[in-house]
Amino acid sequence: MALDKDLSSIQEARDLAQKAYDAWKSWSHASQAEVDRICAAMAEAGYQAAERVGRLAQEETSFGVAAHKRIKNEFASRTVWQSIRDLKTVGVIRHDPDRRLYEIAWPLGVVVALIPSTNPTSTAYFKALIAVKTRNAIIFAPHPSAARCTYEAVQAMAMAAENAGAPRGLISCMQQISLQGTQELMTHRLTALILATGGSPMVRAAHSTGKPAYGVGPGNVPVYVDRSADLEKAARYIVASKAFDYSTICATEQAVVADRPIARRLADLMRQQGAYFTSEQETESLRRLVFHADGSINTALVAKSAPYVAAYANFQVPADTRILVTPLTKAGKQEPLSFEKLTTVLAWYETDGWEQGCETSLALIDTGGRGHTQIIYANDDRVIMAFGLEKPVFRILVNTMGSLGAIGLTTGLMPSLTLGSGGVGGSITGDNVTAYHLINIKRLAYEMSTPPLEALTAGPSLPGPSPTEIERVVRQVISDILGSKTN
């Protein structure tokens, strides 16, 4: 009898969980050499397939730019692998002879990975590598609108792993996609951890299962440009970063906060880079169309080019326009365009001095980006450190792009496509999630000092009741009971 879609999805989730667990039981005993050899093969296979699956992602979702997705796929395969290649994940990984302490890596088991439609192939690459590097099995639950491209990306990794000697079923991907199936996968008794990257509803669902979860959601990244900044560099980087893959990375710039003495010059330089500053009427049109009345984003405009967004909003821009910049004065619920915009629309604010710039940045972070990312362009170390110390975010990027800096391509941050927002952002970590987040550590600890045996074996400091006293109390209790029964 044919099952309906939901039942088929649930059954597939159960089957994949069991197969992954069986594969993990074998893989959990792999040596470091085996792990590294198979991960190297996976990274190379992913790199070679980067263009193909990037093109598939753009075609299937209609989001972003295929060439930019290729860059992300190459980053998520080769660059991520290079960042974790030398990480010890098997056996004794650290030894402290002074403390007589050994730390031993221990895998988690079966990891369930939720994948967003905005970065469906690169996120799959990245999560497959960090899971296998740590001797875990991994099952992917794609977004329904990106099911095919995610599956193809996962298959590239899975086939490379199996051809190199990994057990079959170690890396797998759901094909019968439904909410019920994904829920079954997340709550399955064999699931050890959920690695969720995507929108707020997805992250809340992961945290509500009762399973351990790394859940990371949206950012709302302000970029403050100080009067001490290199304005040419800032303009070039901001426009290029916002236009990159049409703003699909969660750390992409969402608002410029320009120091007033340099604001006009910065705006002119951004125009030279392809930025179009909207009129009040055009801004109002975008305000009504980028978001729905309930505050949710209009998916028809997600990851679309600036000319496409402008035409949707009934105004025209030059064909070479890369981003739309909307001058604003308010932030928060009263201004929809102050929230995260997963498209080529960038807010613009002007403030007088870095202190006001700091306040405006905080207001923007509070609209939905707590814990995520802040960018600052400045050459005044005092201002840079003030932003670093005061902002409730865990990535403060200095003089670099948001989209590529936060993920670790242009900075020293750990390469990752899952960016934690810490406790203030509802996440268990503020780190760029990577391989060492997917292992537990056993600690083998030797005695370093002798216990105070005399104190442990000494008798009580106060004498207890004597046997005769105990007998007297017992007789009295019995007598009282019998007397009460007689009465």
Task: Single out the residue of 37, 301, 71 nearest to residue 160, CA to CA.
Answer: 37
173 is an active site residue: no
Q: In which region does residue 387 sit, left (phi positive, over 0), alpha (psi from -120 to 50) or beta (all else)? A: alpha
- Cβ–Cβ < 8 Å for 173, 161: no
Cα R_g (the chain), whole angstroms: 28
**Gap between the Cα atoms of 484 and 45, Å rounded:** 87
Residue type, 480: D
What is the full DSSP assignment across 409-452?
SSSSSPP-S-B--TGGGT-S--SB--GGGGEEEEEEE---S---
Which of 149, 173, 250, 358 is the catalytic position?
A: 250
Task: Single out the residue of 63, 126, 18 nearest to residue 433, CA to CA.
Answer: 126
**Gap between the Cα atoms of 169 and 270, Å rounded:** 50
51 Cβ contact list (under 8 Å, min separation 6): 66, 70, 73
327 Cβ contact list (under 8 Å, min separation 6): 277, 278, 283, 348, 349
Question: Where are the alpha helices (H) located in 273-320, listed in sequence order?
Answer: 280-289, 306-312
289 phi and psi, to 5 degrees? -105, -30
Q: In which region does residue 135 sit, left (phi positive, over 0), alpha (psi from -120 to 50) or beta (all else)? A: left
Catalytic residues: 250
